Structure 1
Amino acid sequence: MVQLTIERLGHQGDGIAEGPVFVPQTLPGEVIEGTVVDGRIAKPRILTPSDNRVKAPCRHYNVCGGCSLQHASDDFVAHWKRDVVATALKHHDISVEISAIHTSPARSRRRAVFHGKRTKNGATLGLFGRASDILYDIPDCKLMSPNIMDRFETLRALVVLGATRRGQMTLTVTDVAGGLDVSVENGKELDLEFRSQLASFVPNSGFIRLVWHGEVIAQNGSPYQLFGSAKVVPPAGAFLQATSHGEAVLVDAMRRAVGPAKSVVDLFAGCGTFTLPLAEQARVHAVEDVDAMMEALGAGWREARGLKVVTTETRDLFRRPLLKDELAKFEAVVMDPPRAGAAAQTAELARSDTRVIGFVSCNPVTFARDARVLIDAGFVLDWLEVVDQFRWSAHVEIAARFARM
């Protein structure tokens, strides 16, 4: 048993004491006590609490791995996330005022990936514990939307019906207009009898669509998302901004970034989160490496009214980034790469005559790396905002605008 003082938080939200020793659910300045195992104190006793410590709002917090910062005040988390971004930028000698931080409210996550397994008395449905492969039930989660949690027991019943005796089902659940869009992996194999059981289960479930191992089993209406004025039906389990609030903030940021541009290319476009709202004022070319996403985006555009021309292209931007002559066709660029960033595409943007870039990132480290390349090529980082869609987690997103002077 040792006593330690927490010096800072790491990128995963754990407290770090001298050693380093990693201590979950602690805050800088706190004096704690516990047993160190493999450089970690799993269950610390707080001897001297921080003034920023609060009571976690969720009863599942001590065991569930879905959140890591419920013990910290909202003001502390906001300042810490600002510092995470500022530190990443500082490593590349970039200094910019962080003009705003936007935090999504509790109970607003509209997409969840749950795991489920059968038990002797029914099923466990929830998330894995912190740094653990133990699955915990979370029927009173304070993070997910009410529409998801209101149907939690129905999802559990689906696990009872569809999980194998030894495996763990994965359920990707998305809150859509009128119900839930549910996609299942690692469940029972589909035979005639089981298909019939699933088909009977869906009508009273509140599910708009049930997809099993990639195959649509039943659909009651259209599981669409509204991107601007366009209704888009994404492929089952497709990427979606975590909250409607966060999406609205990011869309507003990208509108401000491109300004009056009449032609925009949207790189890593997904199903059209930015493409379709921007098409209200500009011609937009959307690029993504998944055919099904481009097809969903195109279908949504064709059924919408009042939008400018939207074109789509399926292309792997890591291997085949848009080149200088291709980028020259557009007045502005919007880019929202995955966590790995966009090194290859950023290099081409640096070589191009592009004047304006709206940049969304879910990784401050790769954003700072790519930002350095753009700045060295003559771009100015006009403004940067922090978006916290993943409340109570260590995850942080960025919206920024680059322009050539």
Structure 2
Amino acid sequence: MSIPSQSTTHTIERLGHLGDGVAPGPVFVPRALPGEVVEGEVNDGRIDAPRIVTPSPDRIKASCPHYNSCGGCALLHASDAFVSDWKSNVVRQALAAQGIETEIRPIATSPAASRRRATLSARRGKKGAIVGFHGRRSGAISAIEHCQMLAPELVAQVPTIEALVYLGGSRKAELSVSMAMSEGGIDMSVMGGKALNRELETELAQVLHKFGLARLSWNGELVATEIAPQQAFGQALVTPPPGAFLQATREGEATLVAAVREAIGGADTVVDLFAGSGTFSLPLADQAEVHAVEGADAMMQALDHGWRRSKGLKRVSTETRDLFRRPLMPDELNKFAAIVIDPPRAGALAQVEEIAQSEVARVAMVSCNPVSFARDAQVLVAAGYRCDWVLPVDQFRWSPHVELMAAFSKA
């Protein structure tokens, strides 16, 4: 059992990986900045309700009225310049820990209110449906009607989600509602609701029609499609499976695609590993033949269908393959002039070890985790690859998350 201490004063030295201020001890202080003096009671190594005694010059007034209760953002109290510098330093420190020196380009930050996909929580309360993000270190749901992060089109879906909660939710169960903007409208996938039967399916379809959703899925089953929720990847239009990965902002995706193009140069044959539904494969097909590899067959089918319906693209082949258990081997990789790899947060050490033994001259690596990226990058560098440059990309403003794209070459 923890025993609360008396209120004490602490000086913040740095930010932790979740964006909390860290004072000697260590003592973790949410929404505090380096150099600030804070006061509060320490419980289990945290000050959950700090009072800022001496504010940092980088502290600003949070622009979102939900900030005190919502857990969706962690750094809305810091200036944009501070957040950009901190995220760039996260990348720099991860590389330094692996002994990698390279050019780190200025961070590319997506604008406010540009998130085109999000997962919200929803449940029935005593006074009606509650829709939003969880509060900090809390199971409570905070409203989002004035969210500064999500695109307005997503915020406007709160009434839709409320209607779904009344039909298929309960006061005991919490719904997880994933939604993404598409060329055809909002693509929505709901998990955690009541079991789907004919009556509920009919009622859910009526919600889709009433609120103009493009597609609605419930507990992993398709309810109805009004308009194909297509995504534009280069010249191709693709309808990804429900809940499939999508870059968080259009601006971030465009930045990553441009950086990948630069990294692979004039390569005329490319293998795209962890290809998803074609984020990079299809834009690159205007200059190169592409072989796309992904573990989820539904994504490969969507990519293939999108390519076949497009005009003017070079050949794109697909392969469903678990790259963690069965990575492409050097002799398979050597058929291509360049490699694009965009693994999950854990990285792709097994696949990178095979890339390191290949003869492929150019590698473009995208990552959403600087630590796993730096570990994998060190394997390439040790095998003779040069890390030419790294571009940090911030699609998750005011969160501790940072992505990057790195270019590698071998003489």
- TM-score range with shorter-chain normalisation? over 0.9
Q: Distance in 2 between the 1:33 and 1:323 partners?
A: 56
Give the C-alpha shift of residue 316 in structure 1: 0.8
Q: Which residue of 2 aligns with 1:7?
A: 13
Q: Which residue of 2 aligns with 1:65?
A: 71
The equivalences for 1:308-327 within 5 A come to 308-327=314-333
Is 1:236 the counterpart of 2:242 in the alignment?
yes
Q: Which residue of 2 aligns with 1:332?
A: 338
Give the C-alpha shift of residue 139 in structure 1: 1.6
Which amino acid in structure 2 is aligned with residue 187 of structure 1? G
Give the C-alpha shift of residue 165 in structure 1: 3.2
Is 1:259 the counterpart of 2:248 in the alignment?
no
Q: Which residue of 2 aligns with 1:184?
A: 190
Give the C-alpha shift of residue 215 in structure 1: 1.6
Q: In 2, are the aligned partners of 1:380 and 1:402 still within 8 Å (CA)?
A: yes
Which amino acid in structure 2 is aligned with residue 58 of structure 1? C
Please list the CA deviations of residues 119-167 of structure 1 after superposition, one character each: whole Å capped at 9, or x if unmatched: 1221111111112222222221111111111222222222122212310
Q: Which residue of 1 aligns with 2:34?
A: 28
Q: Report the secondary structure of 1:43's partner residue.
A: coil
Q: Distance in 1 between the 2:210 and 2:202 partners?
A: 14
Q: Distance in 1 between the 2:79 and 2:56 partners?
A: 10
Q: Distance in 1 between the 2:159 and 2:345 partners?
A: 33
Is 1:247 the counterpart of 2:253 in the alignment?
yes
Please list the CA deviations of residues 81-133 of structure 1 after superposition, one character each: whole Å capped at 9, or x if unmatched: 11101101111111112122100001110111011000122111111111222
Q: In 1, are the aligned partners of 2:190 and 2:219 still within 8 Å (CA)?
A: yes
Q: Distance in 1 between the 2:167 and 2:48 partners?
A: 35
* Gap runs ≥5 in structure 1: none
Select 2:366's aligned residue among 339, 346, 360.
360
TM-score (norm 1): 0.99
Q: Report the secondary structure of 1:124's partner residue.
A: strand
TM-score (norm 2): 0.97
Q: Which residue of 2 aligns with 1:371?
A: 377
Q: Which residue of 1 aligns with 2:3?
A: none
Q: Which residue of 1 aligns with 2:58?
A: 52
Q: Distance in 1 between the 2:198 and 2:8 partners?
A: 60
* Gap runs ≥5 in structure 2: 1-6
Please list the CA deviations of residues 334-393 of structure 1 after superposition, one character each: whole Å capped at 9, or x if unmatched: 000011111001110111111100010111101111111101111111111100001100
Select 2:147's aligned residue among 141, 147, 155.
141
Select 2:176's aligned residue among 145, 170, 175.
170
Q: Provide the identity percentage.
A: 56
Please list the CA deviations of residues 227-276 of structure 1 after superposition, one character each: whole Å capped at 9, or x if unmatched: 00100001101111000000000000001111110000000101000000
Q: Which residue of 1 aligns with 2:25?
A: 19
Select 2:129's aligned residue among 107, 111, 123.
123
Q: Report the secondary structure of 1:100's partner residue.
A: coil
Please list the CA deviations of residues 193-212 of structure 1 after superposition, one character each: whole Å capped at 9, or x if unmatched: 21221122211212110111
Q: In 2, are the aligned partners of 1:151 and 1:206 still within 8 Å (CA)?
A: no
Q: Report the secondary structure of 2:66's partner residue.
A: coil
Q: Which residue of 2 aligns with 1:156?
A: 162
Which amino acid in structure 1 is aligned with residue 340 of structure 2? V
Root-mean-square deviation over aligned CA pairs: 0.9
Select 2:299's aligned residue among 293, 296, 320.
293
Is 1:42 the counterpart of 2:42 in the alignment?
no
Q: In 2, are the aligned partners of 1:147 and 1:179 still within 8 Å (CA)?
A: no
Give the C-alpha shift of residue 222 in structure 1: 1.0
Q: In 1, are the aligned partners of 2:19 and 2:75 still within 8 Å (CA)?
A: yes
